[in-house]
């Protein structure tokens, strides 16, 4: 099985893609350690600030030293130059908030898995035509589980992962998985501002373990 399939399968099997950004490198590493200790083996760091690339290099180094088996991706990729930068920094996969042919081509040349963000059937069709088999539905809180129910039969070969507004509670997760998504992306509802501000990594580990248990139960519906 090629790298692209292995990584996408890892996301589907975990059913949860935690994502976060923080400007402090040590906080980023603390978050990553907590997620790993909780059982996370695929995570996304979003490139939303000026320190993103530097922080990613630091996390990738720690991952290599002490987190065997962790697949680390870079999110909020909007420009082709970022594809190259984060590939060199050690990203295993990339995620974008939209579909862009130049990003698709750049990732393809590097044989780097890329998950585009889509909001309409047209965008999903473009991603599928470009060879993508997993798309991020964004923003999830605007689209809702009903969107998945309505369009999934139109794209039988496509897997869907909502991100943005997905909450870390059982009923919300149940509604998404019942609608037919393969995984959910959760950011601030799991890795909260309070956790980051207080550097409460023990609480994050606990919450993530609980969430994974819920996902395991709900995601098998």
Q: What is the pLDDT of residues 8-33, one digit of tens each?
A: 999 999 999 999 999 999 999 999 99
**Among 19, 26, 28, 71, residue whose Cα is nearest residue 189:** 19
pLDDT at 77: 98
Instruction: Kindly report the pTM of this predicted structure.
Output: 0.95
Q: What ranges in 67-155 are assigned the alpha helix state H?
A: 80-88, 101-109, 121-129, 140-143, 145-151
What pLDDT does residue 218 have?
66
The 8 Å CB, 24+ separation contacts for 114-119 are 114/77, 114/83, 115/8, 115/161, 117/163, 119/143
Are the beta carbons of 126 and 40 closer than 8 angstroms? no
Query: How many independent structural domains does the chain possess?
Result: 1
Side-chain half-sphere exposure of 134, counting CA atoms within 13 A: 26
Distance of alpha carbon 73 from alpha carbon 178, whole angstroms: 26
Residue 217's pLDDT is: 74
Whether cis (ω within 30° of 0) applies to the bond prior to 53 is no
pLDDT recorded at residue 104: 97
Buried/exposed 136-148: b ≥16 CB within 10 Å, e otherwise: bbbbbeebbbebb
Name the residue range of residue 91's domain: 3-218
Given a contact cutoff of 8 angstroms between Cβ atoms, the answer to whether 101 and 79 are in contact is no
Q: Dihedral angle at the C-alpha atoms of 117, 36, 199, 166, nearest 10 degrees? A: 30
Per DSSP, the residues of 49-92 read STTHHHHHHHHHHHHHHH-TT-EEEEE---SHHHHHHHHHTT-S
What is the spatial distance between Cα 102 and Cα 139, in angstroms, rounded to a whole number? 22
pLDDT of the residue at 29: 98
Distances (CA, A) of 160 to 4, 96, 176: 16, 14, 10
List the chain residues with pLDDT less than 70: 1, 218-221
Check residue 220 and give its pLDDT: 56
**What is the predicted pLDDT for the residue at 165?**
84
CATH number for 71: 3.20.20.70
Phi, psi of 79 (to 5 degrees): -135, 150
């Amino acid at each position: 099985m090629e790298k692209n399939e292995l990584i996408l399968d890892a996301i589907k099997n975990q059913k949860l893609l935690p994502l976060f950004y923080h400007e402090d490198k040590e906080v980023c590493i603390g978050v990553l350690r907590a997620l790993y200790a909780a059982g996370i083996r695929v995570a996304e760091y979003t490139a939303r600030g000026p320190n993103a690339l530097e922080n990613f290099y630091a996390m990738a180094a720690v991952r290599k030293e002490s987190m065997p088996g962790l697949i680390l991706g870079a999110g909020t990729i909007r420009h082709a130059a970022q594809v190259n930068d984060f590939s060199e920094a050690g990203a295993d996969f990339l995620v974008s908030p939209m579909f862009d042919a130049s990003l698709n081509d750049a990732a393809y040349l590097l044989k780097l898995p890329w998950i585009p963000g889509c909001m309409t059937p047209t965008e999903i069709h473009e991603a599928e035509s470009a060879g993508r088999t997993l798309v991020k539905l964004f923003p999830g809180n605007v689209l809702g589980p009903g969107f998945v129910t309505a369009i999934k039969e139109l794209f039988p070969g496509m897997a869907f992962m909502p991100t943005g507004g997905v909450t870390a509670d059982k009923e919300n997760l149940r509604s998404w998985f019942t609608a037919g998504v393969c995984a959910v992306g959760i950011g601030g509802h799991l890795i909260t501002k309070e956790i980051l501000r207080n550097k409460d990594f023990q609480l994050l580990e606990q919450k993530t373990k609980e969430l994974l248990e819920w996902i395991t139960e709900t995601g098998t519906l």
